[in-house]
Structure 1
């Protein structure tokens, strides 16, 4: 299945009311944000909200130490790095028809998401740690270590203005913590997409495609 085929299937399921809340997640630089944006662009913007979860990743990660790796900094691959209660509150508010003011970030200002819109796409690493009953369907993305590093360098040095040396120095830690803490969330997704080598392969579908 190609990317455009998956997008077309999701658009059909959303427009027919089969899917009203969609969760898209995966480790950093796995391709989830790009896919979420492409799906959002394929839908009627007057009917759909896109809630990005990066702002719910706490800036206080330096206060926590991974038990199995005390010499490492905490990355977003650990549940403790996410403000999950606040994120779940905002998802439930949108589902109940209430407006939500998103959290601003250096690369994106806050905006009001309208509770009047019936469709909600929630995108970001945090989705992997949320109760799956919040969503009608979930999609998880992953990629190999080399592709992740290539994408992270391209994105974080331009969009997020981060130093390339820091990205290189922390890459192994991020990948180690992904394998230890985050990889297990992949088996919970309805659809699993492998973008290793910048390809697009639907690896696991739980018999729904």
Structure 2
């Protein structure tokens, strides 16, 4: 299934009311943010909320208190559940599903904004989605890619928008890849739809929600 056909299929399901809460997750640089933005634009920002979960990742001062068991010389990355404020995220998802407004968390790189509970569709995007109960979502989509592609995307994003050096991004990519394979990759099996975007392709490897 080509990407445009896939997006239109999701749109039709959302438009008919069959899909109200979508979860989109994957490792950093997998293309999940782009897919979420495309869906949000397609369904209409007046009809859907986009809840980005990066703001629910705990900052370094908290994560520095622990170390990954298999990588004692590395910092904890977002590949591990303990790096996420999952209780607050689940609360906010349930509030929006119940028709209540929420204010998103403010970070140095992102201002707080109000999401309206009146909008019928909710797209939740970010690594945190993998660690949440599947019952929160009508469908969960997981994306992944090869190391070279994710590094190129990280360099484009983090250097330009988060004021990080190329050397820092490259070093962190190795740590993230190590921990992704050890802790996060297994969560791909939980997705209803699994998409491989290696080398900037779009290949649906598993689709248990609807057929091609």
TM-score range, shorter chain: over 0.9
**Alignment match, 2:71:** 69
Q: CA deviation at 1:207?
A: 6.0
Tell me if 1:48 matches 2:48.
yes
TM-score (norm: length of structure 2): 0.96
On the 8 A contact 1:190/1:208 being kept in 2, the answer is no
Moved beyond 6 Å, runs of 4+: none
Q: Which is further off, 49-58 or 61-70?
A: 61-70
**Alignment match, 2:28:** 28
**Alignment match, 1:38:** 38
Tell me if 1:177 matches 2:179.
yes
**Alignment match, 1:15:** 15
The 1-side partners of 2:204 and 2:151 are apart by 21
Aligned-CA RMSD value: 1.0
Match among 126, 149, 152 for residue 151 of structure 2: 149
TM-score (norm: length of structure 1): 0.97
The 1-side partners of 2:198 and 2:152 are apart by 11
**Alignment match, 2:195:** 193
The 1-side partners of 2:42 and 2:209 are apart by 24
**Alignment match, 2:83:** 81
2:161 match: secondary structure: coil
1:91 match: secondary structure: helix
Q: How many residues align?
A: 209
Tell me if 1:161 matches 2:189.
no
1:18 match: secondary structure: coil
